[in-house]
Amino acid sequence: MDTFNLLLQGFSTALTPMNLMFACLGVLLGTAVGVLPGIGPAMAIALLLPLTYNLEPTSALIMFAGIYYGGMYGGSTTSILLNTPGESSTVITAIEGHKMAKAGRAAQALATAAIGSFVAGTIGTALLAAFAPLVVKFAVSLGPSSYLAIMVLGLLTVTAVLGASKLRGFASVGLGLAIGLVGMDPVTGQQRLVFGIPLLSDGLDIVVVAVAIFAVGEAFWIAAHLRRSKMSTIPVGQPWMGKQDWKRSWKPWLRGTALGFPFGAMPAGGAEVPTFLSYSVEKKLTKHPEEFGHGAIEGVAGPEAANNASAAGTLTPLLALGLPTNATAGVMLAALIQFGIQPGPLLFQNEPILVWGLIASLFIGNTLLLLINLPMAPLWARLLRIPRPYLYAGILFFATLGAYAVNLQAFDLVILLVLGALGFAMRRFGLPILPLIIGLILGPRIENQLRKAFQLSAGDISGLWSEPLAVGVYAVVALILAWPLVALAWRRFRPGEEAVQVPASLERDPHQSRL
């Protein structure tokens, strides 16, 4: 089999001592940032981007993927022991997981989360290896008009489907697109939004913007609302599971994986929806309904698996189409661009060593994560004791260092402060961060495809819907835009029916949690 051979080649890339070291480094860092409050995988990768300029792209991306997967493992540890979900996708884990921990079953909760993550991550990565080449095979035949449509859909779903307030999502995406305009117009060479400042004429470095919005904005925001009271962590021993726990966990793991992967692969899927779905499925199917709400192991096993499978799913459109669907994928796309690698379906053709090395490293990273998380969970939990002044001073310190190291000019630090203030204001007033980042990254690419489409059709506007896929995607776009009206009409006609009961903590906007 072709895919299988490519994957084997990938393993030979990933298993070189150098890349193996970066995979280890990635999963260790990832677990750490997952456990640490205030810092998530997207921020960690943004902070590391400037440091990886001189690295081999394959090694750097292997490390980033390790951070991505590791963040999921670390995140579940915090939500179980502390009941404050670090990532938005572990909100559900916190519900049952923390109850289990309180009832003295922290070890089992951590074990089912870690093993479930491993199972789901491995199956998810296998699905990625199987499906991504199929998507590519289909996608290479697409022209710019279809890409344009797909990217518009990606941008729109991130903006309008996720998040509590669509209006604030659109405001955020507008700001991101505007920031993306700064610099030289690629076709005519004219300067846009440069205001005569020569340092702006090359555009704003995505790294600087990402670090500003994720790291500086977040550090200032937390500083303004720093929790003064100590949070109590539940002490934990070695994670382990009894026979009964295995029996109750394996089906939720598989069901969670089945839900997580496709949602992660969809333009607006993300990890929040499948974890929630998995939770409600397990609640319905369980033989111990009385335990739900008091620490049911199924309620940890399913959502954790869904969470990790969706991470693998997210990588499918990222690698096969160049379409990021969450913050971490967005920053990874920025990394590709930084290395001068053109994202898109040709990535598999042009960079087979990188792509397959990366996929193989995911299998390795996942195994490493299981090994470092099962026996060492108590050790990781100790990270939570780090003095907060050091943690947040450190984030600011490294943000400054990273942004400065890009061009060695103090002007970038001014940009960092200004955009950091923007990031602060967005958190304060509930503007989601994700649309800004995705808008910033996709904006220039959308413009590029738009103009390419017109060039191919010699200026004829019908070139925009010359491909059937483009028409189909625009139909979906129209549906999403019209959805509020449809929903309104629905509610009018069925006033008595209430929405499905959602646990209180679910009603938070999924993007309000740290990214």
Partner 1 sequence: MTQQATAAGKPAAGTGRSELGIAALLGVAGAVVLWDASRLVVPYSVSDPVGPKTLPIIIGSLLLVTAVMLAVNVLRGGRGQAEEGEDVDLSHPSDWKTVLPLAGAFVLNILLIGVAGWVVSGTLLFWGSVWALGGRNYVRDGVVSVTMALLTFYGFYFGLDIKLPAGILAGIL
- Residues numbered 58-117 forming contacts with partner 1, rule: CB under 8 A: 78, 82, 84-86
Angle at CA 385, nearest 5°, toward 382 and 386? 110
Taking the complex as a whole, how short is the minimal distance between the CB of residue 287 and partner 1, in angstroms? 29
Q: Can you name the residues that pair with 184 across neighbouring β-strands? A: 191
Q: Which is nearer to partner 1, 247 or 382 (CB)?
A: 382
Among 1, 2, 225, 462, binds partner 1 (CB under 8 A): 225
Cross-strand partners of 191: 184
Q: Phi/psi of residue 250, each to 5°?
A: -70, -35
Q: Does 454 bind partner 1 (CB under 8 A)?
A: yes
Q: Does 408 bind partner 1 (CB under 8 A)?
A: yes
DSSP 267-286: TTTTTHHHHHHHHHHHHHH-
- Find out whether 271 and 306 touch, Cβ atoms under 8 Å: yes
Q: Which stretch binds partner 1 (CB under 8 A): 57-65, 263-271, 331-339, 399-407?
A: 399-407
Pick the closer one to partner 1 by CB: 37 or 203. 37
Instruction: Report in angstroms how near the CB of residue 84 gets to partner 1 at its nearest.
Output: 4
Contact flag: residue 393 with partner 1 (CB under 8 A): yes
The candidate with the shortest Cα–Cα distance to 130, out of 311, 15, 4, is 4
Distance, CA of 263 to CA of 418 (rounded, Å): 35
Taking the least distance from each CB to partner 1, the nearer of 3 and 407 is 407
- Of the pair 51, 487, the CB lying nearest partner 1 is at 51
Size of the site for partner 1 (CB under 8 A): 85
Q: Write the DSSP assignment of 39-80 as a string of letters.
A: --HHHHHHHHGGGGTTS-HHHHHHHHHHHHHHHHHHHHHHHH
Q: According to the binding rule CB under 8 A, does residue 255 interact with partner 1? A: no
Pick the binder of partner 1 from 222, 259, 369, 480 (CB under 8 A).
Answer: 222
Residue type at position 245: D
Nearest to residue 113, comparing CAs of 261, 262, 264, 278?
Answer: 278
181 makes contact with partner 1 (CB under 8 A) = yes
User: Which amino acid type is present at position 21?
Assistant: M
> Between residue 419 and residue 438, which ones bind partner 1 under the rule CB under 8 A?
425, 427-431
Interface positions, 117-176, toward partner 1 (CB under 8 A): 164-165, 167-168, 170-171, 173-175
Q: Is 387 in the site for partner 1 (CB under 8 A)?
A: yes
Q: What's the min distance (Å) between Cβ of 120 and partner 1?
A: 24
Q: Are 305 and 117 in contact (CB under 8 A)?
A: yes
User: 3-state DSSP call for residue 340?
Assistant: coil
CA dihedral over 338, 344, 350, 354, signed as positive or negative: positive
Q: How far is the CB of 11 from partner 1 (least distance, A)?
A: 28
Q: Which of 196, 198, 340, 459 binds partner 1 (CB under 8 A)?
A: 459
For residue 71, give the nearest of 342, 402, 373 by alpha carbon: 373
**Using CB under 8 A, which residues numbered 187 to 206 contact partner 1?**
187-188, 190, 192-193, 195
**280 CB-side CA count, 13 A:** 11
Nearer to partner 1, 103 or 393 (CB): 393
Does residue 458 interact with partner 1 by CB under 8 A? yes
Shortest reach from residue 188's CB to partner 1, in Å: 5
Closer residue to partner 1, CB minimum distance, 265 or 383: 383
Whichever of 347 and 426 has its CB closer to partner 1, that residue is: 426
Does 417 bind partner 1 (CB under 8 A)? Our answer is: yes
Binding region for partner 1 (CB under 8 A) out of 112-120, 366-374, 441-449, 476-484: 441-449
By CB under 8 A, what part of segment 339-368 binds partner 1? none
Q: Residues near 487 by Cβ (< 8 Å), separated by ≥ 6?
A: none
Closest CB to partner 1 among residues 99, 255: 99
* DSSP for residue 229: S
Q: Out of 352, 447, 466, 472, which residue is the one contacting partner 1 (CB under 8 A)? A: 447
Q: How far apart are the first and last CA of the chain?
A: 38
Pick from 117, 97, 116: nearest CA to 107: 97
Is 509 among the residues that bind partner 1 (CB under 8 A)? yes
Q: Which position among 4, 138, 240, 397 is part of the footprint of partner 1 (CB under 8 A)?
A: 397
Give me the residue label for tokens 């995988």: 41
Of 195 and 493, which CB lies nearer to partner 1 in the complex structure? 195
Stretch that binds partner 1, among 59-67, 205-213, 215-223, 335-343 (CB under 8 A): 215-223
Closer residue to partner 1 (CB): 390 or 490:
390
By beta-carbon proximity to partner 1, the closer residue of 6 and 335 is 335
CA distances from 444 to 38, 108, 337, 421, 509 (A): 30, 47, 12, 24, 28
Exactly one of 10, 30, 37, 274 binds partner 1 (CB under 8 A); that residue is 37
349 vs 455 by CB, closer to partner 1:
455
Pairwise CA distance, residues 482 & 408, whole Å: 47
Residue 499 interacts with partner 1 (CB under 8 A): yes or no: no
- Asked if 110 contacts 78 with a C-beta cutoff of 8 angstroms, the reply is no
Q: DSSP H helical segments within 286-351, as ranges?
A: 298-321, 327-338, 347-350
Which token pair is 242?
A: 């009894």
Select 168 or 248, whichever has its Cβ closest to partner 1: 168
